[in-house]
Amino acid sequence: MSPLNDQKKTVLAECMLLLVTVMWGMNPPVIKLGLQHIPPLPYNVARMLVGSVVAVLVLWLSGRYRRPTRGDAWRFMRASIFGFFLFQILFAEGIDRTTAGNAAFMCCLLPLFVLLINRICGFDTIGRAVLIGIACSMAGIVLIVLGAGRELSMAGKHLFGALLLLGSQAGYAYYTVFSRELLDRYSTYQVTASLMVITTVLLLLVSLPAMRGVAWPDLPAQAWGSIAFSGVFGLCLANFLWIWGAGVIGTARASVFNNLTPVFAVVVAYFLLGETFGVLQAAGAALVMGGVYVTRRRGRFPGWRAKGAEADGKSPGSS
Helices (H), the chain: 3-35, 40-62, 70-79, 86-95, 100-107, 110-121, 128-147, 157-180, 188-212, 221-229, 238-249, 251-257, 261-272, 279-296, 309-312
State how far the alpha carbon of 287 is from the alpha carbons of 21, 47, 78, 137, 201, in Å: 16, 33, 35, 6, 39
pLDDT for 314 equals 36
Instruction: Name the band, by pLDDT with cuts 50, 70 and 90, for residue 285.
Output: confident
- pLDDT over 90 at 55, yes or no: yes
- pLDDT over 50 at 127, yes or no: yes
State how far the alpha carbon of 112 is from the alpha carbons of 9, 78, 264, in Å: 25, 21, 21
**pLDDT over 70, % of the chain:** 77
Count CB neighbours of 61 within 10 A: 9
The answer to which of 108-117, 181-190, 196-205 has the lowest mean pLDDT is 108-117
Instruction: Name the band, by pLDDT with cuts 50, 70 and 90, for residue 301.
Output: very low
Mean pLDDT over 10-18 rounds to 91
CA nearest to 38, candidates 230, 200, 167, 179: 230
State how far the alpha carbon of 6 is from the alpha carbons of 20, 315, 318, in Å: 21, 8, 6
pLDDT for 17 equals 92
- pLDDT over 90 at 197, yes or no: yes
- pLDDT over 70 at 13, yes or no: yes
pLDDT for 158 equals 66
pLDDT for 16 equals 93
CA nearest to 242, candidates 175, 316, 319: 175
Cα angle 195, 201, 202; round to 5? 90
pLDDT in tens, 213-249: 899 999 999 999 999 999 999 999 999 999 999 988 8
State how far the alpha carbon of 204 is from the alpha carbons of 33, 57, 151, 262, in Å: 22, 20, 33, 29
Instruction: Name the band, by pLDDT with cuts 50, 70 and 90, for residue 36.
Output: confident
d(CA 42, CA 30): 16
Name the burial class of residue 155, with classes exposed (0-12), middle (13-18) and buried (19+) by CB atoms within 10 angstroms of its CB. Answer: exposed
pLDDT for 98 equals 66
d(CA 22, CA 11): 17
- pLDDT over 50 at 169, yes or no: yes
**pLDDT over 90, % of the chain:** 36
- pLDDT over 90 at 115, yes or no: no
Instruction: Name the band, by pLDDT with cuts 50, 70 and 90, for residue 124.
Output: low
State how far the alpha carbon of 194 is from the alpha carbons of 77, 81, 126, 287, in Å: 9, 12, 29, 36
Q: How many residues does the chain have?
A: 319
